[in-house]
């Protein structure tokens, strides 16, 4: 989102920052698409991530309303962003667009166009939650409409290679993941399988990725069992718990989430209204109206391994 600069109200931000920027973009382009995130009230896959980022103070967006002093904190509240996106969409639709150009603006599940576009079936209704994938819907539509050069502007650097996604979540460097991939090229087929829209994890994928994770944590290991490696590394006092590989149960759930994101969500990125299987079959679980990652199917260690429980009480 563009920074407000010296703007004092939302209307000033619109007229001094937002509108001039979009006018400058449209001046040298035949079509300009604006795409926003869509915030689901329940069943959002991003709910846990947003919760971890914190929740900013609720501020209602009106033309005369004062801009918040903390712009970043304002954007931590999804209701704030939803109001802001609606306000800016309404304002930008008032732009005077010459006949040879077109403005396309996402408006929740629908889309607004200037001048009015007769057929928007490729764009709406759209049930993508994230702008990251919805941009692909707009890019595909632009391509079908004859545009051959498409520029996408975003501040997000979403993971493109699933190996890096796996490595990042467990605090390993991208360089190490890339080196491991080069040393174990068999994993490429497994990654490609994850990018498919299968109804379940393809046969053999879990064992191949398990071997990849083993090599990621110990490139000299001959084991194919991540639990065996975890036990071996745990016995070394120099290894902290944070630097141990995940259990096989945790790894399986993470692979399911990666497959759901890569295959079912990203794999249908160019389709406006996608058909998705239940996230609860792919590494998430219901918690009231929200979805939370199912980190593992194992019970808590404090409940299953009493030998590791100790206290500092003195014996009398």
DSSP character string of 128-155: -SSHHHHHHHHHHHHHHTT--------S
- Torsion, Cα 82 62 87 15, to 10 degrees, reads -130
Alpha-carbon distance 26 to 251, whole Å?
A: 46
Tell me the pLDDT band of 170, cut-offs 50, 70 and 90: very low
- Torsion, Cα 119 125 129 133, to 10 degrees, reads -30
pLDDT of residue 171: 44
Write the pLDDT tens digit of every residue in 42-77.
777 777 776 766 678 899 999 999 999 999 899 888
Tell me the pLDDT band of 169, cut-offs 50, 70 and 90: very low
225, 214 in Cβ contact below 8 A? yes
Tell me the pLDDT band of 159, cut-offs 50, 70 and 90: very low
pLDDT of residue 165: 38
**Bridge partners for 102 per DSSP:** 31
Q: Is 166 left (phi over 0), alpha (psi -120 to 50) or beta?
A: alpha
Mean pLDDT of 185-210: 88
Residue 242 has pLDDT above 80, yes or no: no
Write the pLDDT tens digit of every residue in 12-32.
999 999 999 999 999 989 999
- The residue ranking higher by pLDDT, 171 or 113, is 113
Alpha-carbon distance 128 to 37, whole Å?
A: 8
pLDDT of residue 225: 94
107-118 burial, b at 16+ Cβ within 10 Å, e below that, comes to beeebbbbeeee
> Of the spans 32-46, 190-204, 216-230, which averages the highest pLDDT?
216-230
Write the pLDDT tens digit of every residue in 116-137.
888 899 999 999 888 888 888 8
Q: What is the mean pLDDT of the chain?
A: 84
**Bridge partners for 192 per DSSP:** none
pLDDT of residue 163: 30
Tell me whether residue 95 is exposed, middle or buried, using C-beta atoms within 10 angstroms of its C-beta: 0 to 12, 13 to 18, 19 or more: middle
Write the pLDDT tens digit of every residue in 84-121.
999 999 999 988 888 889 999 999 899 999 998 888 99
| Nearest one of 134, 189, 195, 135 to 165, comparing CA atoms | 195
Tell me the pLDDT band of 197, cut-offs 50, 70 and 90: confident
37, 129 in Cβ contact below 8 A? yes
pLDDT of residue 302: 64
pLDDT of residue 228: 94
| Nearest one of 145, 99, 147, 137 to 119, comparing CA atoms | 145
Alpha-carbon distance 127 to 148, whole Å?
A: 26
Residue 95 DSSP label: S
**Bridge partners for 114 per DSSP:** 103
Confidence (pTM): 0.64
131, 36 in Cβ contact below 8 A? yes
Domain map (residue ranges) of the chain: 10-144, 162-270
């Amino acid at each position: 989102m563009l920074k407000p600069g010296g703007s004092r109200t939302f209307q000033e931000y619109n007229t001094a920052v937002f509108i001039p920027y979009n006018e400058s973009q449209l001046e040298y382009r035949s079509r300009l698409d604006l795409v926003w995130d869509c915030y689901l009230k329940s069943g959002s896959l991003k709910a846990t991530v947003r919760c971890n980022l914190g929740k900013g103070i609720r501020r209602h967006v009106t033309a005369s309303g004062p801009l918040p002093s903390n712009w970043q904190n304002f954007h931590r509240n999804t209701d704030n962003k939803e109001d802001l996106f609606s306000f800016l969409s309404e304002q930008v639709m008032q732009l005077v667009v010459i006949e040879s150009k077109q403005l396309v603006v996402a408006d929740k599940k629908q889309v607004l166009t200037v001048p009015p576009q007769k057929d928007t079936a490729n764009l709406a209704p759209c049930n993508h939650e994230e702008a990251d994938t919805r941009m692909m819907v707009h890019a595909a539509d632009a391509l079908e409409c004859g545009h051959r050069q498409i520029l996408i502007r975003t501040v997000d650097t979403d993971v493109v290679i699933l190996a890096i996604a796996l490595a990042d979540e467990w605090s390993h460097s991208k360089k190490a993941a890339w080196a491991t991939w080069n040393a174990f090229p068999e994993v490429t087929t497994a990654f490609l399988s994850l990018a498919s829209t299968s109804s379940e994890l393809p046969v053999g994928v879990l064992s191949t990725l398990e071997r990849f994770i083993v090599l990621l944590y110990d490139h000299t290991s001959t084991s194919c069992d991540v639990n065996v490696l975890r036990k071996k590394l745990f016995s070394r006092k120099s290894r902290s718990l944070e630097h141990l590989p995940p259990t096989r149960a945790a790894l399986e759930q993470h692979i399911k989430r990666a497959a759901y994101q890569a295959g079912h969500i990203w794999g249908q990125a160019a389709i406006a209204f996608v058909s998705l299987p239940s996230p609860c079959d792919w590494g998430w679980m219901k918690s009231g109206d929200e979805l939370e990652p199912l980190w593992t199917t194992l019970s808590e260690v404090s409940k299953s391994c009493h030998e590791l429980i100790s206290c500092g009480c003195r014996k009398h």
